[in-house]
């Protein structure tokens, strides 16, 4: 059994992660600090260490030095993203943002351990590329589920383009699995043992996007108290996945074009350029070609990105996969929540097959998770899936109905009469002048990415910095 050490000072997160990993059949130990981990355990006896970046006393990156033979996965919040990049430079095998998705965490753990099994210490020291990686293990069909003809075509295309350094543009609706496709492209490539840096361009404030991507020199702008490595430089030798590439501002588009054309970057505030060797993978749910006609996206950048295009079909075009995906999600969630023996009732299967799934695979997974939580016996019924409501949005968190968030124009009865989308729109417009995007997302009980996606769907523009 694989042994994993969790180093996290927050008991709630530590306990939840321990439970998640134990359910996945890992042997798990934990500590609240680097000092406690070093005192209580022989760090070399673990197959993986998962550590928070910010800990009392020594930082989590200290474990990289203390356990040179054990891979270290760093957990970090978005606010510490740049520090996470620095941790990659120090030797962390990967970082994952908090709050993390359970499936993403398990996939990362599995992949790190798999890579460790396939790499000797001599190979690691010599920096050998990953041509000898087991092609079966890295096959896209092991990362993405798909038995329909449309997904089989996607898998075939990924297998053909992955071994090259060709730039790839992944297109598909939100929730179709574009990041999974990017991971498959990376893991099936000669760069598989090098970092895969994933960036959601929509989640980074416009004022920080260039600094995050390209890095900055000390004193380049107010608050730049030290030099920082950018995400592109952190991906040197590996792959860079730019999700929601259509949200890049114009200046960042111009600088990214130079990276693609010349293979070089220049930090914000620097006069010197440096060469980077990065395989670029971009993704979007928007029509970039149409955006070039309106001037929202550079035409020259579009053609540089669109060398090879991979289209991920929406779930409504994958009739043969829907029930298979539902059963896989049901099995996973039932195991995680310790409810063995769950199955789908006939009416639930009919509902799943006829629903259009505007949120695609992500919506299906959320529906199954919700049904597993609510189920009191062994059968998931159609009513538990709750797919017939007018809105596909989440329930309104109770925090929004507390007295410290009154709606001046509505009484309680009127609030109840609002649709969920109306309430979301009202709350965002009412509070975006006095709350950050992070605070808005927390109050709404959703992630920053979900907040952005709903802004797009409802046509609520994000307030520009400084206005």
- Last residue in a domain, options 117, 145, 173: 117
Q: Please indicate, yes or no, if residue 123 is contained in any of the structural domains.
A: no
Q: Please indicate, yes or no, if residue 343 is contained in any of the structural domains.
A: yes
Q: Residue 48 maps to which CATH number? A: 3.40.50.2300
Residues 308 and 320 in one domain: no
Q: What is the pLDDT of residues 90-108, one digit of tens each?
A: 666 677 776 677 777 888 8
Residues 151 and 262 in one domain: yes
Please name which of 167, 373, 355 lies closest in space to residue 256, comparing C-alpha atoms. 167
Residues ≥6 apart with Cβ < 8 Å to 329: 364, 365, 368, 369
Instruction: Compute the average pLDDT of residues 322-330.
Output: 92
Q: What is the pLDDT of residues 134-158, one digit of tens each?
A: 444 567 888 888 889 999 999 999 9
Task: Give the phi and the psi of residue 119 in degrees, each rounded to 5.
Answer: -130, 125
Q: Please indicate, yes or no, if residue 201 is contained in any of the structural domains.
A: yes
Q: Look at residue 90 in the predicted model and tell me its pLDDT.
A: 60
Give the chain's mean pLDDT.
80
Q: Residue 377 maps to which CATH number? A: 1.10.8.60
Q: Look at residue 422 in the predicted model and tell me its pLDDT.
A: 65
Q: Residue 159 maps to which CATH number? A: 3.40.50.300
Residues 173 and 275 in one domain: yes
Q: Look at residue 84 in the predicted model and tell me its pLDDT.
A: 53
Q: Look at residue 219 in the predicted model and tell me its pLDDT.
A: 77
Q: Which long-range contacts does 413-420 make (Cβ < 8 Å, 24+ apart)? A: 419/390, 419/391, 420/391, 420/393, 420/394, 420/395, 420/396
Residues 410 and 344 in one domain: no
- Last residue in a domain, options 290, 313, 336: 313
Residues 51 and 144 in one domain: no
- Strand-pair partners of 169: 282, 309
Residue 193 has pLDDT above 60, yes or no: yes
Output the six-digit token pair for 135: 């092609």
Q: Please indicate, yes or no, if residue 251 is contained in any of the structural domains.
A: yes
Q: Please indicate, yes or no, if residue 374 is contained in any of the structural domains.
A: yes
Residues 205 and 331 in one domain: no
Number of domains in the chain: 4
Q: Please indicate, yes or no, if residue 92 is contained in any of the structural domains.
A: yes
Residues 306 and 175 in one domain: yes
Residue 87: pLDDT band (50, 70, 90) is low
Q: Please indicate, yes or no, if residue 254 is contained in any of the structural domains.
A: yes
> Measured between alpha carbons, how far is 99 from 22 in angstroms, rounded to an integer?
19
Instruction: Compute the average pLDDT of residues 172-187.
Output: 91
Residue 31 has pLDDT above 80, yes or no: yes
Which helix (DSSP H) or strand (DSSP E) does residue 175 occupy?
none
Q: What is the pLDDT of residues 39-55, one digit of tens each?
A: 999 998 899 999 988 88
Q: What is the pLDDT of residues 360-392, one digit of tens each?
A: 998 999 899 999 999 888 899 998 988 854 444
Q: What is the pLDDT of residues 265-275, one digit of tens each?
A: 888 888 888 89
> Measured between alpha carbons, how far is 438 from 431 in angstroms, rounded to an integer?
12
> Tell me, what DSSP letter sits at residue 9?
S
Q: Look at residue 321 in the predicted model and tell me its pLDDT.
A: 92
pTM of the model: 0.61
Residues 230 and 326 in one domain: no
Q: Look at residue 415 in the predicted model and tell me its pLDDT.
A: 39
Residue 175 has pLDDT above 60, yes or no: yes
Q: Look at residue 85 in the predicted model and tell me its pLDDT.
A: 57
- 121 or 148, which is more confident: 148
Lowest mean pLDDT among 169-183, 222-236, 423-437, 441-455: 441-455
Residues 295 and 344 in one domain: no
∠ CA 179-183-189, rounded to 5°: 145
> Measured between alpha carbons, how far is 238 from 92 in angstroms, rounded to an integer?
14
Q: What is the pLDDT of residues 395-424, one digit of tens each?
A: 444 444 444 444 444 444 443 434 556 667
Please name which of 350, 369, 360 lies closest in space to residue 313, comparing C-alpha atoms. 360
Instruction: Compute the average pLDDT of residues 287-301.
Output: 92
- Last residue in a domain, options 294, 313, 332: 313
Q: Look at residue 310 in the predicted model and tell me its pLDDT.
A: 94
Lowest mean pLDDT among 141-155, 173-187, 267-281, 433-447: 433-447
Residue 173 burial (CB count, 10 A): 18
| C-beta separation of 427 from 400 below 8 A | yes
Q: What is the pLDDT of residues 198-256, one digit of tens each?
A: 888 888 887 788 888 888 888 777 776 677 788 888 888 999 999 999 989 888 899 89
Q: Look at residue 396 in the predicted model and tell me its pLDDT.
A: 45
Residues 328 and 300 in one domain: no
Q: Please indicate, yes or no, if residue 466 is contained in any of the structural domains.
A: no
Range(s) of the domain holding residue 260: 131-313
Residues 210 and 342 in one domain: no
Residues 91 and 105 in one domain: yes
């Amino acid at each position: 059994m694989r042994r994993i050490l969790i180093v996290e000072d927050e008991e709630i997160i530590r306990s939840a992660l321990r439970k998640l990993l134990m359910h996945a059949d890992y042997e798990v130990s934990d500590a609240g600090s680097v000092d406690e981990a070093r005192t209580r355990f022989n760090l070399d006896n673990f197959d993986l260490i998962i550590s928070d970046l910010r800990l009392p006393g020594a930082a989590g990156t200290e474990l990289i030095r203390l356990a040179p033979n054990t891979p270290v996965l760093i957990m970090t919040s978005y606010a510490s993203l740049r520090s996470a990049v620095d941790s990659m430079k120090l030797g962390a095998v990967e970082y994952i943002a908090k709050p993390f998705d359970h499936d993403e965490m398990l996939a990362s753990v599995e992949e790190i351990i798999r890579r460790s099994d396939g790499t000797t210490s001599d190979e690691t020291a010599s920096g050998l590329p990953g041509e000898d990686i087991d092609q079966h293990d890295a096959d896209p069909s092991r990362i993405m589920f798909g038995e329909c003809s449309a997904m089989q075509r996607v898998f075939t295309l990924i297998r053909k383009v992955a071994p090259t350094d060709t730039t790839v543009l992944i297109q598909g609706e939100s929730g179709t699995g574009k990041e999974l496709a990017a991971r498959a492209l990376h893991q099936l490539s000669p760069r598989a043992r090098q970092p895969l840096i994933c960036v959601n361009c929509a989640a980074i404030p416009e004022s920080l996007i260039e600094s995050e991507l390209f890095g900055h020199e000390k004193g380049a702008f107010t608050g730049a108290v030290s030099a920082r490595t950018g995400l592109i430089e952190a991906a040197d030798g590996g792959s860079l996945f730019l999700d929601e590439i259509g949200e890049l501002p114009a200046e960042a588009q111009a600088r990214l074009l130079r990276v693609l054309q010349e293979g070089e970057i220049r930090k914000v505030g620097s006069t010197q350029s440096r060469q980077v060797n990065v395989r670029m993978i971009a993704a979007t749910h928007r029509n970039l070609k149409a955006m070039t006609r309106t001037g929202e996206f550079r035409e020259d950048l579009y053609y540089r990105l669109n060398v090879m295009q991979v289209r991920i079909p929406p779930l409504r075009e994958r009739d043969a996969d829907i029930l298979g995906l539902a059963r896989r999600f049901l099995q996973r969630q039932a195991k995680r929540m310790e409810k063995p023996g769950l199955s789908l009732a006939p009416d639930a299967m009919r509902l799943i097959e006829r629903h259009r799934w505007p949120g695609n695979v992500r919506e299906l997974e959320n529906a199954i998770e919700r049904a597993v939580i609510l189920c009191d016996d062994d059968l998931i019924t159609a009513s538990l899936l709750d797919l017939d409501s007018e809105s596909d949005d989440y329930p309104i968190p109770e925090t929004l109905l507390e007295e410290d968030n009154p709606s001046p124009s509505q009484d309680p009865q009127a609030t109840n009469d609002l649709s969920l989308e109306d309430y979301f729109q009202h709350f965002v417009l009412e509070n975006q002048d006095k709350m950050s995007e992070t605070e808005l997302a927390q109050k709404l009980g959703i992630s920053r990415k979900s907040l952005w996606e709903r802004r797009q769907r409802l046509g609520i523009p994000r307030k520009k910095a400084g206005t």
